[in-house]
Amino acid sequence: MRDMKRVLLTGASGRIGSYLRGALAQDFALHLNDVADLGPARANETLFQGDLTDPDLCARMVAGLDAIAHFGGRSGIHSFADVLHSNIVGMQVLYEAARKAGVRRIVWASSNHVTGFHPVTEVIDPASPRRPDSFYGVSKSFGEDLSRFYFDRFGIETLCLRIGSCFPEPTARRMLATWLSHRDLEQLVRLGLSAGRIGHMVVYATSETREGFWHSPALRVLGYRPKDDADAFAARFDGPSPERFQGGPFATAPLAEDRA
């Protein structure tokens, strides 16, 4: 196991990033980034508020680091212009800064929406065709290709976590198939930061479930053992999910451009 001590966490003011900020603080010296207010710095934290499309900011953030946990960017149903800026341009600027600084490991929040147009009747794996369900899914598909390029060309390893629905508990019937608990997310991030050679690895990130859409054999190789089980919440939801596609409402929602 590698001893990762200095880690940049992007998106540290977001819903998931805020959880990871607290969860990782006791074991890592954290550089924290977000465009939103990060609040006061705590022990072992250095704050960098600003946009990931700023090359100078990214260069300062990654200097001397061992690894990056990249959870910044726009999530949800947004216009192409929004995801282009945050999820595509910002990610390339960050990877380029990592390359120049010699950072060799990145754990990145990809998304199940890369394959959201597969029907719920299928069980797929990371080798299945990508079928993005939104511009958000398209931006995450780009990110997987970008991280692959930086591995093949420059040797930067990336664990791409295709996150399903990361909440304290499932809040809808579909989440019995897609749910990732906070502590299972933490386990995956810690494994990605500290495991031996991983190359370029893409996995679906969920807790235990009998109703899942996804199969990721590499999770066992990585050492992931879910602590939580979505089936414990099944009694809360009656009947089957109304969704036809694995991406749920992302696959049928109007484009942001059409709502303008």
Q: Where are the domains of the chain?
A: 6-259
Q: Which amino acid is at 63?
A: A
Which of 24-28, 106-110, 159-163 is predicted with the least confidence, judged by mean pLDDT?
24-28
Calculated CA dihedral for residues 168, 173, 177, 178, nearest 10 degrees: -40
* pLDDT over 90, % of the chain: 91
* pLDDT over 70, % of the chain: 98
Q: What is the mean pLDDT of residues 97-111?
A: 98
Interval 32-44: pLDDT, tens: 999 999 999 998 9
pLDDT of residue 94: 98
Pair 207, 163: CB distance under 8 Å: no
Structure tokens at 113: 């929406």
- pLDDT category, 1, cuts 50, 70, 90? very low
pLDDT of residue 2: 46
Q: Output phi, psi for 22, to 5 deg.
A: -70, -35
Q: Which amino acid is at 120?
A: V
Q: Which of 55, 35, 57 is nearest to 96 (CA)?
A: 55
Q: Which residues are catalytic?
A: 136
Q: How far apart are CA 217 and CA 179, in angstroms?
A: 18
Structure-token match 């919440």, residue found? 233
- Residue 82 in this model has a pLDDT that exceeds 60: yes
Return the SS3 of 208.
Answer: strand
What does pLDDT average to over the chain? 95
**Most distant CA atoms of the chain, gap in Å:** 53
Q: What is the mean pLDDT of residues 116-141?
A: 97
Name which CATH class applies to 6-259: alpha beta
Interval 189-218: pLDDT, tens: 999 999 999 999 999 999 999 989 999 999
Return the SS3 of 197.
Answer: coil
- pLDDT category, 258, cuts 50, 70, 90? confident
pLDDT of residue 259: 67
Give the ranges where 112-209 is alpha helix by DSSP (H).
Answer: 135-154, 175-178, 182-194
- Residue 18 in this model has a pLDDT that exceeds 70: yes
Structure tokens at 243: 């969704």
- Residue 46 in this model has a pLDDT that exceeds 80: yes
pLDDT of residue 239: 82
Q: How far apart are CA 161 and CA 246, in angstroms?
A: 16
pLDDT of residue 241: 84
Q: Which of 118, 140, 120, 69 is nearest to 98 (CA)?
A: 69
Q: What is the mean pLDDT of residues 129-144?
A: 98
Q: How far apart are CA 115 and CA 253, in angstroms?
A: 16
- pLDDT category, 87, cuts 50, 70, 90? very high
Q: Output phi, psi for 161, to 5 deg.
A: -95, 105
pLDDT of residue 240: 81
Q: Which amino acid is at 173?
A: R
Give the ranges where 72-134 is alpha helix by DSSP (H).
Answer: 80-83, 90-101
